[in-house]
Amino acid sequence: MLASPDHFGPRLFRTGAIPEAQRFAAWHGVVNGWLLGVESCPTSDAPFRGSACLRALPDLRFGWGILGGTINKRTRAIVAEDNDDLFLFVNSGGVFGATQRGRDTEVGVGGAYLMSCSEAGTYRWPEGLKLTVVRTKHDAVSALVRNVYDGMGRALAPENDGLRLLVRYLHILHDAEPLTTEEARTLVTRHVQDLLALALGATGDARELAHARGFRAARLKAIQAHIERNLAQPELSPETVARRFRISARTLQRHFEADGTSFSEYVLGRRLARVHAALGDPRGDTRGIAELALAFGFGNISYFNRRFRARYGAAPSDIRNREFAADKDH
């Protein structure tokens, strides 16, 4: 049985800090305790190597890693102690094989493999395989996908748009703010389940519902991550970002409106926040105020000063001087 999460942040695992003789046992404990019960054995006598980042929420577990070569078996005894969760393996680099329901399947890069935790199976990882994995309750997904169990033990094609967006969303979550509230954890879980349903072929009203909730939320997260990486570009605009995501500028604006803001308000808020954070760390960032403003995409210093004062009730120099004074007091 899987361990209950005692927190909701990332759990990191790397074999490099573990003595060679203990590495495989440590890895086996992580996989069995936090992800998927299996009987594993390495495929070579070389020292085992692996790394992973896992997140555990009440009804959702996901993560990614680079794996050592192993053969992993879900025996009938293991299955009898487990539940009927859905589990998705996404191949991010390499080729792996799987056997379930008497069917052998090979999954190439970008493809995925769906399994039920209520069924036995065998999974073969080559050395250095890169995987993204998702485990969640089957009820929420099967409510959106007719005959979801017909897809068990089969590969999903790399061209699957829902699959690609699901993987992108999961990786964005790794860099997102901590999921400190029950509301945030519930929302993230629902979005992942919706995207999984789209990847598995939700149709009709169910597809529309999953698209409205999961697809739009994931696309907004991806857009926001793109903006964060490009705040220093003064030419950042609805048109340039919309072209990047192959949507219209109006569709882009609707994503932000549904979130209670606008593109320009969001970009301004993130730029101001980044400058404010830099000013609050005078020993870590010694650039002048005008230089910081320019570095985060403000082309007009007078405009920057007005908006900064309106947002924080103080001039940029007041924030920097306050932090210098506080640092001296300590």
pLDDT digits (tens, 9 = 90+) for 32-72: 878 888 999 999 888 888 898 888 888 899 988 998 899 99
Q: Are 9 and 53 in contact (CB under 8 A)?
A: no
Pairing of strands 51-57, 11-14: antiparallel
The tens digit of pLDDT for each residue in 186-245 reads 888 888 898 898 888 877 777 777 677 777 777 888 888 889 889 998 889 999 999 988
Q: For 131-144, b where at least 16 C-beta lie within 10 A, e where not — what string?
A: bbbbbbbbebbbeb
Pairing of strands 112-116, 103-107: unpaired
Lowest mean pLDDT among 6-20, 82-96, 133-147: 6-20
Q: What are phi and psi of 202, to 5 degrees?
A: -60, 140
According to CATH, the topology of domain 11-229 is Jelly Rolls (2.60.120)
CB neighbour class for 94 (10 Å; exposed up to 12, middle 13-18, buried from 19): middle
Q: Are 48 and 127 in contact (CB under 8 A)?
A: no
pLDDT at 178: 61
- Distance (Å, rounded) from C-alpha 19 to C-alpha 21? 6
Q: Is residue 1 pLDDT above 50, yes or no?
A: no
The pTM of this model reads: 0.71
Q: What are phi and psi of 190, to 5 degrees?
A: -65, -40
- Distance (Å, rounded) from C-alpha 63 to C-alpha 318? 43
- Distance (Å, rounded) from C-alpha 136 to C-alpha 57? 9
The tens digit of pLDDT for each residue in 138-161 reads 998 888 888 888 878 888 999 888
- Distance (Å, rounded) from C-alpha 135 to C-alpha 86? 6
In the structure encoding, which two tokens stand for residue 16, read together?
A: 């490099």
